[in-house]
Amino acid sequence: MTDVLDPEELEALMAGEEENTAGKGKYNLARQDYAVQRLIPALSLIQSQFAGATRDRMQEFVSAVSSVQTDKISVMKFEEMVNTLSAPCSLSVVQGLPMSASLYLAFESDLVFQLVDRYFGGSGASQQGDREALSVSEFSFMEMLNTALLPDIASAWKSVVKIPPTIAAQYNDPRMLDSISEADSLVATRFTVTIGEFTGGLWSIVPWSAIDAVRDSLGDPAKSKGKPSSDDWRDRLLEGLESAPIELVAVLAHTKLSLKKVAGLKVGDIIDLPSPDELILEVDGKPFMRGRFGSHQGNLAVKLEGPVPKKRTQR
């Protein structure tokens, strides 16, 4: 008998564990680190592609970069991330993931100093003394490098990123982040960047909630079998729906013209319209509210007066 469970046995064991009440049992195979282990092949493929593209991109700035390789993929809390990334580091907040989540791209301080020094013609000498912030030139260089890496992030995460990623903010200290709570779990991937004899760390950090929401796209067999989504995923889905933009159209007036008159219209012709005292607001082409046309603080405006009466169907 083999000591390794096959995928069906793992799923059966996990399903049984999930039925237990919270806090019972010695082991909890449904915890996030176990779920991440199931996604390791898909995440490794994504990060391997990103590592190769990042090496090529870095070489455009520092030709001495010889390799970028995936070191490890792990689950950590925010406090652990703060302890791992000591200031001053380069931490960029990249927007573009599902559920309004962000990806965090972090360069360890020694790697920042190495890259900047070599970019400006140095030999990569180690930086002396304790510092809490990057210099202006270091911050500007890292902003330029992170921006250059955006297409590589989009390419590596193409199965889940549907809009072009953008950099929302850049920090020297992870403690300045206010978009992550201490309770959030983070899927952190560390890459080793080799420059000559030097080896430094680059991190790609994604909230678990964003990973959990797209496990189907990442190829998780357990998720694709129709298991219920987590409460956190539903909350983020609702948040995404509530913040989704919709187009609200104010219909000022309707009129009818004969086909002959429409065919003869030319520049300069005037079409008479009824006075737009009362108008209809439409959402997705359907009547939503009725209102009265006017002005407010020097701008054209509509004062809402109530819902549009439903038409009675004739029997």
Query: Domain ranges in the chain?
Result: 31-242, 248-264+273-307
Region of 264 (left: φ > 0; alpha: ψ -120 to 50; beta: rest) is alpha
Say if residue 7 is preceded by a cis peptide, omega within 30 of 0. Answer: no
Q: Is the pLDDT of residue 252 over 90?
A: no
pLDDT tens for 255-290 read 888 898 888 889 988 888 777 677 888 888 888 888
- Where residue 305 falls among pLDDT bands split at 50, 70, 90? confident
- Burial (CB < 10 A; 0-12, 13-18, 19+), residue 298, is exposed
Q: Is the pLDDT of residue 228 over 50?
A: no
Q: Tell me which residue has tokens 């030097």.
A: 198
What are the percentages of helix, strand and coil residues in the chain, rounded to 5? Answer: 35, 25, 35
Beta-bridged to residue 70, according to DSSP, are: 191
C-alpha to C-alpha distance for 255 and 113, rounded to whole angstroms: 69
Residues sharing a CB contact under 8 Å with residue 111, sequence separation 6 or more, in sequence order: 193, 200, 201, 202
Q: What is the mean pLDDT of the chain?
A: 78
Q: Tell me which residue has tokens 């020094």.
A: 117
CATH number of 31-242: 3.40.1550.10
**Cβ(95)–Cβ(224) under 8 Å?**
no
Taking the whole predicted model, whether its pTM rises above 0.85 is answered as no
